[in-house]
Structure 1
Amino acid sequence: MIAGVIAVVLLLAVAAYACGGGTDYGAGFWDLTAGGAERGERSRRLIDHAMAPVWEVNNVWLIFVLVIMWTGFPVFFQRVFTAMWLPLALAAVGTVLRGAGFALRKPLTRLAGRRLYGAMFAVSSLLTPFFLGAAAGGVASGRVTARATASTDAWSNPTSLLFGFLAVAFTALLGAVFLAADARRFAVPDLDGHFRRRALAALAAVVVLAVITLVVTHGDAPHVWHGLIHGVGLVFVIVSALATLATAWSLTRPSGAWSRGAAVAVVASAVIAWGMAQRPYLIPVSLTVAEGAGAHTTLRWLGLVTLVAVVLVFPAVVLLYWLDTHGELESLTDAELRPGRPGDEV
């Protein structure tokens, strides 16, 4: 019983990281595609401002996921990090380079240095979610088995690749939706329209990739496919589909109201649908939740620590997100987002 509860906590933590960290990765994706130094300057200023208060906090969810994995489900942790060592290692390197690029590019005054660290940040924001998604696809397709060895090509399968592309599309959606909301808050209509159009394009990519992934899993990950079209998994697929329609509707409304909540619901519901589709397995169809769980005493202490974190940490994180999205933290003047600001570097 307690192993099932901890497994649900793990799934919710993955969903939280997909939404919180995914928004940051998406901002980096749009940084990468913003254009040259002059054309993309205003978009990059908005991205820097939007990410600055929360980008480190969003990684708390990743740490929480890893702690639950290696403490609560050590067998699962060992198999995943053995079979999927290459994409996970590349994702870890990407996370480090991304953080370094974001932290170091802003204080630099020389354009060459800003371009170098900016490119490091932007490219890592694209590759890191792809490799994390590819590792998740390896789990969903059942390739992370007890017989799996530390090979370099275990993740090169249709489900892993599609999960990787879908992860990038999810992050692009979240990043564009939140950046459009920030642009509205600062009354910069051209940037609002700029990111709304990109959000709609990312949403279309999510729909196309989700349909293709569902078709491919029929043959490549049959247990997950069955779970996605039956029971609780199907419920969350429907919720994600309805949230997709709500996101599209919100993005076409002048106010853009509820677009952020709807986009978060799209991603969170999709992640939870995947987790529910795998039941009762951590790795279909070779490792159940009960088989992969640690000692009962360990799970009890992990549950207690989780409860303390929910009581003490979760409200603080929610407050930080609320303050950030309501403009109560770092100020940004209109002049910084207006075209032709004096002192712009080319």
Structure 2
Amino acid sequence: MSTAVAAVLLIAIATYAVFGGADFGAGFWDLTAGGPERGAAPRHLVEHSIGPVWEANHVWLIFILVVTWSAFPSAFQSITLTAFVPLAIAAFGIVLRGASFAFRKTVVTVRFRRVFGGAFALSSVLVPFCFGAIAGGIASGHVPAGGEAGDPVDSWLNPTSIVTGVLAVVLAAYLAAVYLVREARLADDAVLVAYFRRRAVVTAVVAAVAAVIGFVVLRSSASPVFDRLLSWALPWVVLSVLSGFGALVLLIRNSPRGARVLAVVAVASVIASWGFAQWPYLLPPTLTVSAAAAPTGTLAALVVVTGLLVLLVVPGFVLLYVLDQRRLLPEEGVEDVAGPEAG
């Protein structure tokens, strides 16, 4: 039963990375778009593309936290006690990002638009870095078992955490760029298609470099995880490499639809390879999934709730994304009172 719940948790993390990560990545492109005039068109496309769905994507984060807390309470306690600094930064960043995204459209002066736009963009980079750093700290054994608190600084600012944090930011930016190529094509804007296609290609290469650096760092700081990446998790690593390479080729050939699917598979495979490389440990190198699991009754209840989630909630998400892709949803929030050219 604990294995089934752990699989559900891994799928939820991959889902959040694919959907929520792309939203954070869009904020990265908002940050790097340039000044108010030069960056007006990319920022307008970013706002238009993530507006209808960005709030819904955090449902997966809430689900991840609830499942971890309920199914693996001792591990949840250790993670929150040890990584409370990056968790607090991420929580504050999510709130700040949402507020800034909404308020930016209600002000008319360039000065305040820059303030809210900067807060939105910077928090969009900071949040995935914190989540990636936490994952790196767990994989490298910096989170102790038994509900104990580890080092609040070294647990997320060690070499493995820094590399995985940077990789999380790059993968989010990569996904967002690939998605935005599709959005620009739907808007029939050839200039923005080329704009985001170039950025998708560049970030794909940067992500590959970051992944290679991550392998080198893992070999020295988390050798058990590294060894399982080359054995138990190797099929997922290969799938990620092949999907990423295929997406890169399609982007270069200007075939964004196929590239989008392969990009999703590549990023989801990265998450899967991390989970399989840690197996059977939830907190390497001592706490296994079975040892950290809650009583069987709790796990069974979680499996039932997950089944209800698939039946009742997932269809709503599918409908939301379909309506969004078909441009059948209204603009999110209030009307932009100043227009994109204001910042």
TM-score, with length taken from structure 1: 0.94
Aligned to 1:159: 160
> Cα offset for 1:150?
5.4
Task: Tell me if structure 2 keeps the 8 A contact 1:49–1:330.
Answer: no
Task: Tell me if structure 1 keeps the 8 A contact 2:129–2:168.
Answer: yes
Aligned to 1:281: 281
In structure 2, the residue corresponding to 1:57 is in which secondary structure?
coil
Aligned to 1:268: 268
In structure 1, the residue corresponding to 2:282 is in which secondary structure?
strand
Letter in 2 for 1:129: P
> Cα offset for 1:151?
2.5
Aligned to 2:295: 295
Task: Tell me if structure 1 keeps the 8 A contact 2:142–2:154.
Answer: no
In structure 1, the residue corresponding to 2:142 is in which secondary structure?
coil
Task: Tell me if structure 1 keeps the 8 A contact 2:90–2:127.
Answer: yes
Letter in 1 for 2:312: L
1:246 aligns with 2:246: yes
> Cα offset for 1:327?
2.7
Distance in 2, matches of 1:142 and 1:149, equals: 10
Per-residue CA deviations over 1:124-158 (Å, capped at 9, x if unaligned) read 00111001100110011111113543523321211
Task: Tell me if structure 1 keeps the 8 A contact 2:237–2:270.
Answer: yes
Distance in 2, matches of 1:216 and 1:36, equals: 37
Per-residue CA deviations over 1:203-245 (Å, capped at 9, x if unaligned) read 01110010110111111111111111102x1011011001111
1:344 aligns with 2:341: yes
Distance in 2, matches of 1:220 and 1:344, equals: 48
Task: Tell me if structure 2 keeps the 8 A contact 1:82–1:150.
Answer: no
In structure 2, the residue corresponding to 1:282 is in which secondary structure?
strand
Aligned to 1:197: 198
Distance in 2, matches of 1:304 and 1:248, equals: 40
Task: Tell me if structure 2 keeps the 8 A contact 1:28–1:121.
Answer: yes
Letter in 1 for 2:278: Q
> Cα offset for 1:331?
7.1
Structure 1 pair 82/191, CA: closer, same or farther in 2 (3 Å)? same
Which residues in structure 2 correspond to 1:123-134 (within 5 Å)?
123-134=122-133
Distance in 1, matches of 2:120 and 2:342, equals: 19
Task: Tell me if structure 1 keeps the 8 A contact 2:177–2:200.
Answer: yes
1:57 aligns with 2:51: no
Distance in 2, matches of 1:342 and 1:114, equals: 11
Which residues in structure 2 correspond to 1:163-182 (within 5 Å)?
163-182=164-183
Which residues in structure 2 correspond to 1:193-232 (within 5 Å)?
193-231=194-232
Task: Tell me if structure 2 keeps the 8 A contact 1:170–1:206.
Answer: yes
> Cα offset for 1:319?
2.1
Structure 1 pair 37/252, CA: closer, same or farther in 2 (3 Å)? same
- Which structure 1 segments of 5+ residues have no match? none
Aligned to 1:113: 112
1:186 aligns with 2:167: no
Structure 1 pair 301/312, CA: closer, same or farther in 2 (3 Å)? same
Task: Tell me if structure 1 keeps the 8 A contact 2:41–2:340.
Answer: no
Structure 1 pair 189/290, CA: closer, same or farther in 2 (3 Å)? same
What's the % identity of the aligned pairs? Answer: 46
- Which structure 2 segments of 5+ residues have no match? none
Distance in 1, matches of 2:213 and 2:104, equals: 38
Per-residue CA deviations over 1:257-280 (Å, capped at 9, x if unaligned) read 212111111110000110011111
TM-score, with length taken from structure 2: 0.94
In the alignment of these two chains, the number of paired residues is 337
Aligned to 1:320: 320
Task: Tell me if structure 1 keeps the 8 A contact 2:93–2:123.
Answer: yes
Task: Tell me if structure 2 keeps the 8 A contact 1:246–1:262.
Answer: yes
Distance in 1, matches of 2:154 and 2:220, equals: 19
